[in-house]
Structure 1
Amino acid sequence: MKADQGSAVQSYSIWAQPSGVLANRLQTEIDHLAGLTNEAPSFLPHVTVVAGVEGTEQEVLQRATEAAAQIQKYVIGFESVSYGKMYFQCVYMLCEPSRPTLAAAAAARRVFGKDKGDHYMPHLSLLYSDIQVAQRAQIAEALQARLMTGTSTTANPLPEKSFLVDTLNVWLTPAGDKSLKSWKLVKQIPLH
């Protein structure tokens, strides 16, 4: 007998996602960057609040609801475009480490038992890839000039440099799936 997916232990992530014009604009950038390399996937714009949450769907949803009850609506602002060394932090928009943003992540991480260890760096990824560091730096520099400062010849600044977080979005994000084909939205939980 096959186990119901809701009762199987899986890996989930909790996201804050922009909406409207800003989400559409960021999606255009993500899609464009994914098209630059063969292996880069497209994905929805999001700021991960907590990742690598293990459990059954029911357990994760219960804890996400508990976390949402401790978090009020808040605003995430963008500081700059940067790059990292990891696949899932290839090129990203660094978010302001504001008190509400850090408090929301701390509350969610505490509920999920992820509050020890790694430092939380709020960011919105624009490209997932294993490209060379020099290429990451070049892309980040071009995006900074085009999206944030409007100083490039192809300037198309973001319509807004912040967004309201009014839901926690629970996503099934199986570890190791770089194609993202198995990723799916499970539930949106409203914040107060």
Structure 2
Amino acid sequence: MSHHTIDRKPSGDEEGAYAVWATPSKDAKIRLKKLMSGLRSKFGGPKFDPHLTVVGPISLTGKDATEKFRAACRGLKVYPAQAQEISTGNSFWQSVYLRLDATPEVLGISSHFDEHFGNTRTTPYLPHMSLLYGDLTDEEKNEAIDEAKTLDDTIDSMSFAIDRLELYITPDDKTLKSWIKVEEYVLCAH
């Protein structure tokens, strides 16, 4: 299932970089994975699952992160997300991504987790789902946008449900080999 040989769950007292991911429902996930795989075969980069980062990475102990995550998840329901456009950024982690509408639901979940995790933002929350990680030139990024639209021409108008939240430990590791899912929470249906 996993690309690492040992999934060593961090211990409760260990500090780490924790992040909360919102993940799309199964059909949307399959569609996104197909697109991401097509982009990787052309531009390289590490493999990762489609996700919308809700909060993080934040430095916490394992115990603290898990407690905060559970408390914040309690009672949350499945919520909608809507793609807006394919965009590119200036970092390895935001090289090519699907920008999402900053809807009240999406923003609300983010600020809810900010509060629980004691996160203060220096820049406004940008809801997005990365499609490709990499240190690409501007030319390559533009090629990647074209390629994404060739692979899936309506990707920038897709809407989907977010049906689970996941707590990950995500050290600053460009191979992603050290990224581990610590816990997941399935959101209640409406």
Count of matched residue positions in the alignment of Structure 1 and Structure 2: 178
CA contact (8 A) 1:167 1:189 kept: yes
Matched, 1:137 2:142: yes
CA distance in 2, matches of 1:72, 1:166: 8
CA contact (8 A) 1:27 1:44 kept: yes
CA contact (8 A) 1:82 1:141 kept: no
Superposed displacement of residue 70, structure 1: 6.9
CA distance in 2, matches of 1:8, 1:63: 15
For 1:185, which of 181, 185, 190 is the aligned residue?
181
**Structure 1, unaligned stretches of length 5 or more?**
151-156
CA distance in 1, matches of 2:96, 2:36: 10
For 1:21, which of 19, 27, 47 is the aligned residue?
27
| Partner in structure 2 of residue 153 of structure 1 | none
Pairs within 5 Å for 1:1-192: 5-38=11-44, 40-69=45-74, 71-144=76-149, 146-147=151-152, 150=153, 157-158=154-155, 161-174=158-171, 176-192=172-188
User: SS of the residue aligned with 2:34?
Assistant: helix
User: SS of the residue aligned with 1:50?
Assistant: strand
CA contact (8 A) 2:80 2:160 kept: yes
User: SS of the residue aligned with 1:7?
Assistant: coil
Superposed displacement of residue 145, structure 1: 5.4
Q: Given residue 173 of structure 1, which amino acid in structure 2 is its aligned partner?
A: T
Identity over aligned residues, as a percent?
28
Superposed displacement of residue 163, structure 1: 2.1
Residues 46-87 of structure 1: per-residue CA shift (max 9 Å, x gap): 010011121122210111112223744311111111111111
Superposed displacement of residue 146, structure 1: 4.5
User: SS of the residue aligned with 2:136?
Assistant: coil
**Structure 2, unaligned stretches of length 5 or more?**
1-9
CA contact (8 A) 2:24 2:163 kept: no
Superposed displacement of residue 5, structure 1: 2.7
Superposed displacement of residue 178, structure 1: 0.4
Q: Given residue 126 of structure 1, which amino acid in structure 2 is its aligned partner?
A: L
CA contact (8 A) 1:106 1:115 kept: no
Q: Given residue 189 of structure 1, which amino acid in structure 2 is its aligned partner?
A: Y
CA distance in 1, matches of 2:138, 2:33: 23
Greater RCO (CA < 8 Å, at least 6 residues apart): 2
